Amino acid sequence: MKLLRNLLLAGCVMTSFSAFAETKIGVVDIRAALFSSDAAKSFSKQMEDEFKTQEMEVRAVQESGQKLQERIKKDSAIMSDTERTKLALQLEEKAKEFKYLKGKLDKAVSVKKQEFIQSSKPKVDQVLKDIVESENYDLIMPREAVIYSSQSYDVTAKVIEKLNAIK
């Protein structure tokens, strides 16, 4: 009786191992695949061109504020109280202006990135579907959901390659 039970248990274990061995699993870093594609590189260049003037404006305000701060630090001992107060107010205004301009720029960039992601999602989904069907994957999981996987499970490079093939 004990022998029969052990044989049945061994048979069940072996069956589950063989079923698992036949399961083809992949892992993909969707964000990396999307932002490493040729379309993303083109989008990035377009973003640089589009927001170049705003970035220069933010940088100019930042540099102006830093110069004011350096002047206050360097010359505060020889400044009158009114001059020191005036420069401190100017510095505060520069800080507010910088914060406003930087926030506005960051929001605009974020909106554009989100639009790119949304417009690219159907392509990524189709590429993943094609890979699943052509290579007989049973399961493809996002990298964020996996604690550890061997590099052999990673299909991110395949996704990038297929995304770049789409024109």
What pLDDT score does 76 carry? 82
Q: Looking at residue 20, what is its pLDDT?
A: 53
Residue 48: predicted pLDDT:
94
Residue where the block lists tokens 């770049």: 164
**End-to-end distance of the chain based on CA atoms, in angstroms?**
66
128: left (phi over 0), alpha (psi -120 to 50) or beta: alpha
Q: Where are the domains of the chain?
A: 24-165
- Which pLDDT score, from 0 to 100, does residue 21 have? 59
Residue with tokens 């989100």: 114
| Percentage of the residues of the chain whose pLDDT score is greater than 70 | 87
Per-residue pLDDT of 127-155, as tens digits, reads: 999 999 999 999 999 999 999 999 999 99
The backbone torsions φ and ψ at residue 74, rounded to the nearest 5 degrees and listed phi first, read -75, -45
In angstroms, the CA 23 to CA 141 distance is 13
What architecture (CATH level 2) is domain 24-165?
A: 2-Layer Sandwich (3.30)
CA dihedral angle for residue 107, residue 108, residue 110, residue 114, rounded to 10 degrees: 130
Rounded to the nearest integer, the mean pLDDT of the chain is: 88
Strand pairing category for 139-142 and 25-28: parallel
Are the CB atoms for 116 and 43 separated by under 8 Å?
Answer: yes
